[in-house]
Amino acid sequence: MKKLFEGLFTLFLSVIGILNFSSGIIAAIWLIAVGGWQFVLFGFILGIAMPWVYSIASIPSMLVVPLILKFAEKGNQLLMSVFGFIASLYNNFLLALWVSFVFGLMIQVDYNPIAMWFWGFATVMGPISYMASKEDRGSLGTVLGAFFCQVGYILLTVSYYFFGSETLGYSLLWLSLIAFSGLNIYLGFAEGLLRKSGAGSTSVQPLEEENIEEADIVTPMEELQDTGKKYCSNCGEQINKSSNFCTSCGTALKG
């Protein structure tokens, strides 16, 4: 089930990338054609600045990671999940602020709403897709973060244009923040940290392999002793029961 979700979300991220690219082109051409080139430039500047600001702002969540790894080493899945949820919640909170900031700018501009919607979507998702491309595409945290931004922007759009309420949109955005943070844990955030920390790996497996090797050595000798045949104690070659010397290595035999 986990691999299925990873495959679907990875595919979804690819679709987002295509949509981001096309929406950016549409917005740029549309706005430049009607004299709104300053919005294109401003969105471009925001897109460059956002990854840097996000990297700095997300430092507190990175400080929690050693605690999560420590709990993983001790096998405390409860505390590992709790602190993992806190880290995920904080990162998604930063993404929610980003989406809210761009959407607020978009609705304040008295311009063609469709062109500005494409501009807002491209501005939101451009740096998000860029950051996702620099990380593991199979990472659920990365994929869910991009998915959360798109869902958040759509929720704000639907609430504002169809229900005439900004408050409803922001309320749904914060609720989805909690839901996505919990989903991140459920789909394997804690499990991924557990694998990364190496917790749960012990010397049991090497010992088992050693026991197997010993069994491979001892068992044949025991089988030879049970056959009733006579074998050289030095080289292991089968010899006649009446022989006093090994015909292979010349070792003197008892009895």
Give the model confidence (pLDDT) of 107-130 as tens digits: 888 788 888 898 999 899 888 878
Q: Give which of 236, 217, 216, 215 is closest to 227, Cα–Cα.
A: 236
- CA–CA separation, 210 and 141 (whole Å): 39
pLDDT in tens, 56-81: 998 988 888 888 788 878 877 788 88
Q: Check residue 218 and give its pLDDT.
A: 39
pLDDT higher than 50, residue 99: yes
Give 238's DSSP letter.
E
Mean pLDDT of the chain: 75
Which pair of tokens denotes residue 185?
A: 């844990």
Q: Check residue 2 and give its pLDDT.
A: 55
User: What pLDDT band is residue 93 in, cutting at 50, 70 and 90?
Assistant: very high
pLDDT in tens, 35-62: 888 888 998 999 899 999 999 998 988 8
The secondary element (H helix, E strand) that includes residue 239 is: strand 238-239
The angle subtended at Cα 7 by Cα 85 and Cα 138, nearest 5°, is 55
Q: Check residue 71 and give its pLDDT.
A: 80
- Per the CB < 8 A criterion, the answer to whether 39 and 118 are in contact is no
pLDDT higher than 60, residue 234: yes
C-alpha distances in Å from residue 22, one per residue of 25, 118, 204, 217: 5, 9, 53, 66
Q: Check residue 33 and give its pLDDT.
A: 86
Q: Check residue 17 and give its pLDDT.
A: 62
- Per the CB < 8 A criterion, the answer to whether 67 and 146 are in contact is no
- CA–CA separation, 54 and 124 (whole Å): 13
Q: Check residue 4 and give its pLDDT.
A: 64
Which pair of tokens denotes residue 125?
A: 């998702």
pLDDT higher than 70, residue 14: no
The secondary element (H helix, E strand) that includes residue 96 is: helix 77-108
- Per the CB < 8 A criterion, the answer to whether 253 and 246 are in contact is yes
- Per the CB < 8 A criterion, the answer to whether 75 and 155 are in contact is no
Range of 129-133, 140-144, 201-205 with top mean pLDDT: 129-133
| Higher per-residue confidence, 116 vs 254 | 116
Which pair of tokens denotes residue 246?
A: 């090994």
pLDDT in tens, 195-221: 554 443 333 333 343 343 433 333 333
| Higher per-residue confidence, 135 vs 82 | 82
Q: Check residue 22 and give its pLDDT.
A: 76
